[in-house]
Amino acid sequence: MKSESLRVFTFPTIRSSISLRHCLMQSIKHIQMLREQLLAAGKKISYQSRVKDEPAYYCNDCDLEVYDLLLVTSENSTKKSYVVHCEDCARAKSPSLGGVVVLEQYRIEELTKIYDAFTLAPSPVSK
């Protein structure tokens, strides 16, 4: 049953910065976990920082937004075309992620900094 592996993400209504911070923390935790799993599996992670105005990446198979850790395969090695996958889709094709190149767009320190900046940002005070 393919539908069981399909996860539906609903974006929570953000009522306070606390829930947004929580979201951010969950994302960072998820990225850290995935990163450790990939390293433990012997994958090499190549750092490739984002360029200005670089568009967001979406999984080629399920359209899920892929953030920070891009699992990339080369569809055709003679033509230089690269295809981005989410973790689930990449594993569905190859559980050992054979032929998958992992690109990292932010370092964990950068993500943590973003989180800290958010935490420290004063809430707007209405006069």
Q: Rule CB under 5 A: choose which of 61, 67, 92, 101 binds Zn ion.
A: 61
- Closer by beta carbon to Zn ion, 25 or else 64: 64
Rounded to the nearest whole angstrom, what is the least distance from the CB of residue 82 to Zn ion in the complex? 15
Q: Does 89 bind Zn ion (CB under 5 A)?
A: yes
> What distance in Å separates the CA atoms of residue 127 and residue 123, rounded to the nearest whole number?
12
Rounded to the nearest whole angstrom, what is the least distance from the CB of residue 60 to Zn ion in the complex? 7
Phi-psi region of 119 (alpha: psi -120 to 50; beta: other; left: phi over 0): alpha
- 22-52 as b/e, with b when 16 or more CB fall inside 10 Å? eebeeebeebeeebeebeeeebeeeeeeeee
Q: Does 70 bind Zn ion (CB under 5 A)?
A: no
- Is the distance from CB of 87 to CB of 94 less than 8 angstroms? no
> What distance in Å separates the CA atoms of residue 38 and residue 35, rounded to the nearest whole number?
5
Q: Does 62 bind Zn ion (CB under 5 A)?
A: yes
Q: Does 69 bind Zn ion (CB under 5 A)?
A: no
- Closer by beta carbon to Zn ion, 89 or else 101: 89
Rounded to the nearest whole angstrom, what is the least distance from the CB of residue 2 to Zn ion in the complex? 12
- Closer by beta carbon to Zn ion, 9 or else 47: 9
